[in-house]
Amino acid sequence: MKHLLSTVVISSALLVGAPSTAAQSTKGVFGGIQYVGSSVDVKSAAEDLQFGGGFGVHAGFGLSDTWSVLANFDRSVLPGVKNTSDVTLSQYDALLRMNLLPGASSPFRVFLAAGATARTANAGRDFEDIAPTGGAGAQLFVTSKIAVNGTALWTFGKLTRASQLRNGQEGQFESTGTRVQAGVSLYLFGK
């Protein structure tokens, strides 16, 4: 919970406290870094993977002022449960982002994101298949090339049993992964 609160405070400070500039196009190549908080809720397992923090990187291409494609990677360390070791959760996203409000004339954008995520936990134990991901976020340009952003993402799918989930059952479990990201993006061809 401490990490979730930290992520929300950082996101709020970045989005509210940053100075605004003139409108900026989201077309072209961009990349950046983010702080990420993650948790995984596992149905029918004895324990969930508790909220933990980490960092990530992203790169994308703005097709227009409305649509962008985005590749994202982040890694979080989730605290172990009942004297087990911590879980390192890695997530690889391929996302499509759609800017909704208020439009290309504003430095502030609200967006939806959807796509697919591949996940691994500790020592290469993979989540089964590629899982669908969706979410929303906001972005504020502080200069013509730099934007701060905050995003919340949810990933739904099956989790192949990891060693930290100790309920004596082998197999797969339905899971919901939650992530909150706060970061900065550099638009290489900003005006």
Beta bridge mates, 94: 71, 116
Distance between CA atoms of residues 70 and 96, nearest Å: 6
120: Cα separation from own chain's centroid: 15
Phi, psi angle pair for 17, to nearest 5° = -85, -10
Residue ranges with strand state E in 25-86:
28-42, 49-62, 67-78
pLDDT tens-digit map of 80-136: 666 667 778 889 999 999 999 877 778 899 999 999 998 887 744 545 567 899 999
Segments forming the whole domain that contains residue 106: 2-187
Residue-level pLDDT, tens digit, the chain, 191 residues? 444 445 444 444 444 444 444 557 888 999 999 999 998 877 665 556 678 899 999 999 999 989 999 999 999 988 766 666 777 888 999 999 999 987 777 889 999 999 999 888 774 454 556 789 999 999 999 988 999 999 999 998 876 655 544 444 556 667 788 999 999 999 987 65
CATH code of the domain containing 136: 2.40.160.20
Which of helix, strand or coil describes residue 18?
coil
Look up the pTM and report it.
Answer: 0.78
Number of domains the chain is built from: 1
